[in-house]
Amino acid sequence: MHTKSSPSNSATLHGVLQEAARPLLGAGSDYDDLLKMIGEARYVLLGEATHGTHEFYDARARFTRRLIEEMKFSAVVVEADWPDAYRVNRYVTGMGPADAARDALSDFQRFPRWMWRNNDVLQFAYWLRQHNDTRAAFQRVGFYGMDLYSLYRSIEAVIDYLKNVDPDAATTARRRYACFEQFGEDPQAYGYAARAGMSASCEKEVIAQLMELRVRSAEFLSRDGWVAEDEHFQAEQNARLAINAEAYYRAMFGGRTQSWNLRDTHMADTLEALVRHLSRGGRPAKLVVWAHNSHMGDVRATECAAGGELNVGQLIRQRNSFGDVVLVGFTTYSGTVAAASDWGEPVEIKRVNTALPGSIESDLHEVAAEDGGTPNFWLNIRDDRDLANALRPARLERAIGVVYRPDTERLSHYFHTRVSEQFDALIHFDQTSAVEPFERE
The answer as to whether 200 is a domain residue is: yes
180 shares its domain with 271: no
Of 298, 288, 389, which is closest to residue 31 (Cα–Cα)? 288
Which of 255, 279, 300 is the C-terminal boundary of a domain? 255
219 shares its domain with 357: no
Q: What is the mean pLDDT of residues 203-227?
A: 84
pLDDT tens digits along 364-402 = 999 999 877 799 999 999 999 999 999 999 999 999 999
Q: What is the structure's pLDDT at 230?
A: 85
The region of weakest confidence among 166-175, 191-200, 331-340 is 191-200
The answer as to whether 68 is a domain residue is: yes
Q: What is the structure's pLDDT at 427?
A: 98
Q: What is the structure's pLDDT at 223?
A: 59
Q: What is the structure's pLDDT at 224?
A: 56
The answer as to whether 86 is a domain residue is: yes
Q: What's phi and psi for 72, nearest 5 deg?
A: 60, 45
Which of 255, 289, 318 is the C-terminal boundary of a domain? 255
Residue 142 has pLDDT above 80, yes or no: yes
Confidence of residue 225 (pLDDT cuts 50, 70, 90): low
Q: What is the mean pLDDT of residues 121-135?
A: 96
The answer as to whether 4 is a domain residue is: no
Q: What is the structure's pLDDT at 12?
A: 86
How many domains is the chain partitioned into structurally?
2
Q: What is the structure's pLDDT at 39?
A: 95
Provide the pairing of β-strand 325-339 with 425-432.
parallel
pLDDT tens digits along 312-354 = 999 999 999 999 999 999 999 999 999 999 999 999 999 999 9
308 shares its domain with 350: yes
Distance between CA 45 and CA 43 in Å, rounded?
6
54 shares its domain with 191: no
pLDDT tens digits along 241-261 = 999 999 999 999 888 899 999
Residue 216 has pLDDT above 70, yes or no: yes
The answer as to whether 243 is a domain residue is: yes
29 shares its domain with 103: yes
Confidence of residue 188 (pLDDT cuts 50, 70, 90): very high
232 shares its domain with 294: no
Distance between CA 140 and CA 133 in Å, rounded?
8
236 shares its domain with 315: no
225 shares its domain with 323: no
Q: What is the structure's pLDDT at 227?
A: 63
The CB density around residue 311, as the number of other CB atoms within 10 Å, is 27
Q: What is the structure's pLDDT at 138?
A: 84
Q: What is the mean pLDDT of residues 60-64?
A: 97
Q: What is the mean pLDDT of residues 152-169?
A: 95
Confidence of residue 9 (pLDDT cuts 50, 70, 90): very low
The region of weakest confidence among 49-63, 170-184, 223-237 is 223-237
Q: What's phi and psi for 193, nearest 5 deg?
A: -65, -40
101 shares its domain with 139: yes
Could you tell me how many helices (H) and strands (E) the chain has, helices first?
19, 11
Q: Which domain holds residue 250?
A: 148-255
349 shares its domain with 218: no
Q: What is the structure's pLDDT at 158?
A: 97
The region of weakest confidence among 1-10, 74-83, 94-103, 385-394 is 1-10
The answer as to whether 117 is a domain residue is: yes
Residue 6 has pLDDT above 60, yes or no: no
Q: What is the mean pLDDT of residues 194-211?
A: 94
Confidence of residue 124 (pLDDT cuts 50, 70, 90): very high
Buried-exposed string 172-196: b where 16+ CB fall within 10 A, e elsewhere: ebbebbebbeebeeebebbbbbbbe
Provide the pairing of β-strand 43-46 with 325-339.
parallel
Confidence of residue 29 (pLDDT cuts 50, 70, 90): confident
Which of 207, 225, 255 is the C-terminal boundary of a domain? 255
Q: What is the structure's pLDDT at 263?
A: 97
- The pLDDT mean for the chain works out to 93
The answer as to whether 441 is a domain residue is: no
Confidence of residue 218 (pLDDT cuts 50, 70, 90): confident
Confidence of residue 8 (pLDDT cuts 50, 70, 90): very low
Confidence of residue 278 (pLDDT cuts 50, 70, 90): very high
Which of 50-64, 90-104, 227-241 is predicted most confidently? Answer: 50-64
Confidence of residue 424 (pLDDT cuts 50, 70, 90): very high
Distance between CA 77 and CA 366 in Å, rounded?
34
The answer as to whether 438 is a domain residue is: no
Read off the CATH number of the domain in which 69 is found. Answer: 3.40.1660.10
Q: What is the mean pLDDT of residues 131-148?
A: 94
165 shares its domain with 129: no
Residue 3 has pLDDT above 50, yes or no: no
Residue 159 has pLDDT above 90, yes or no: yes
Alpha carbon distances (Å) from 111 to 94, 115, 187, 273: 28, 9, 14, 26
Residue 309 has pLDDT above 90, yes or no: yes
290 shares its domain with 387: yes
End-to-end CA distance of the chain: 48
Confidence of residue 53 (pLDDT cuts 50, 70, 90): very high
